[in-house]
Chains A and B, each alone.
Chain A
Amino acid sequence: MTGAPGSAPLLVLDGVAKLYRRGLLARETAFRLDVDRAFAGRQIVGVLGPNGAGKTTLFEMIAGSNSPSRGQVRIAGQDIHRVRYRERDRLAIHYHQSYQVRRFRRTRPAFLMDRAASPYPLVHLFDEPQFNTQDGYIGFMLDFFRRLRDEDRLVFVCLHPTAPFQLDILAEICDRFLFVAGGAVAGFDRLADALADPAVRRYLGALADRGP
């Protein structure tokens, strides 16, 4: 639980699990991600993890574009997977690089679903934003993340660091960190704590020692 004591968390991942299976007769689990966590608003969370570990799947489940196999994703108390498709971005909005990502498999008519209770996205998910040190836009992007936080929103920034400056960025803006690997999501309050974790060190390789 990472919410402030006594305050209701903005985002609750309540016993969420996602399973992908393969094989027709001998079914085996090809992918599994379990997450049971809650987050207060007004913070920036850095998300790290190897490719294929489920960072984007996690973001999709929060944004309501990928249904969990079990469990519930609640934003400001609303189960996002019961909210009308067109209104889910009033709760959580998912950007991959420059573009907003949304592809819904519609399984129920809108009139049977709930309306979003917010007029503006409460959770902002930035999936591998393109940070180019050459053009200087990074600074404006980081200021924007901070502004969203100051407006009480919950911001996730997912990065797959390949250069030290990307760790510097995470250290500069993030209030806490998630590491998605091996089907689970680990949480850290400081980047230094994450960088001391053996699994994170294996993932980052040489970069772990060059971090801030």
Chain B
Amino acid sequence: MALFEARGLHLRFGDRVVLEDISLSFEAGSLSGIMGPNGAGKTTCFNVLTGRYRPERGRVLFDGQDITGLAPHRIARLGIARSFQMMNLFDDFSVFENVAVALPATRRRVADPVGRAYADPAVAAAAMAVLARVGLADMADQPAKSLPYGARRALEIAVALAAGPKLLFLDEPTAGLGSDGRARLARLIRSLKGQLTIVVIEHDMDFLFGLADEIAVIHWGQVIARGTPAALKANPWVMASKLGSAA
């Protein structure tokens, strides 16, 4: 059974249909992609999947539970983490602190969320373990604002991982990254594969083709194609495009 499933999502803003009958499902442990041209409705779709918008019709099921219309923080607590196109980090905190505050163990200390939490060796070890997973252990003491752009992306993923999610959504993770940064990010995401279920929303076809097990293509607020990268790449128009000739 799929870990996450969306059935017949329909959403409109005023007179406009922005999502028309979108159905998607993600198997546990898989790495899935959602791609589409700019303005195709990817982020809107993402916002429905992660609970920021409530669909007018349709259902979102996670781990056997109907989560349609649940508040985003409740969805997060069930084990779904998401990153944002605009990065949300505490710039004045260190890399370590950014992850430490996102750990459930820290979050439970309501009265003292940051202060002495790090003194707890278990918290420190958990934060360092998360940083090691994204390759930032060496930079633990640096302030977040001093990180290069690509490392900020990795830290953002670390913050999402700190909550111990079963499912991680990444929204346009390559935004603002050059080709080196993209390659490093692809390696990082690939290294997480199998540890949890990952869904990457991307405009960059090339990036997803090298990464995902299965991809859904969204345009006009609808799923216009889906399949494995190999199947999608076999499309004659993809082969004839810049991407196909480069691959």
Contact = CB atoms under 8 A, between A and B. Distances in A.
Interface of A: 85-86, 89, 93, 95, 97-104, 120-121, 126, 130, 132-144, 147
B243 interface: yes
Contact of A141 (B12, B17, B20, B219): B219
A139 B205 CA distance: 13
B16 A136 contact: no
A98 B38 contact: yes
Contacts of A134: 241-242
A100 to B, nearest CB: 5
Contacts of B239: 136
Given A120-B21, A130-B37, A137-B37, A100 B220 contact: yes
A145 to B, nearest CB: 9
B235 A143 contact: yes
Contact of A104 (B15, B222, B243): B15
B51 interface: no
Interface string B200-238: 000001000000000001011110110000001001111
A136 B241 contact: yes
Interface of B: 12, 14-18, 20-21, 36-40, 205, 217, 219-222, 224-225, 232, 235-244
A140 B208 CA distance: 15
Contacts of A137: 36-37, 205, 217, 219, 237
A140 B241 contact: no
A206 to B, nearest CB: 23
B20 A140 contact: no
B10 to A, nearest CB: 10
Contact of A135 (B21, B39, B205, B220): B205
A143 B205 contact: no
8 contacts: A100-B221, A133-B240, A135-B242, A135-B243, A137-B217, A139-B237, A140-B217, A143-B225
Given A133-B240, A136-B235, A138-B241, 14 more contacts: A89-B17, A97-B39, A98-B40, A99-B39, A100-B16, A101-B16, A102-B14, A120-B20, A135-B242, A135-B243, A136-B238, A136-B239, A136-B244, A139-B235
B222 A144 contact: yes
A5 B235 CA distance: 35
Contacts of B37: 98, 130, 132, 135, 137
What 10 A-B pairs are tightest by C-beta distance, nearest first? A139-B237, A136-B241, A144-B224, A139-B235, A136-B238, A98-B39, A102-B15, A140-B225, A138-B237, A140-B217
Contacts of A133: 237, 240-241
B241 A135 contact: yes
B240 A140 contact: no
Nearest to A140: B225
A100 B18 contact: yes
Nearest to A102: B15
B236 A139 contact: yes
Contacts of A97: 39
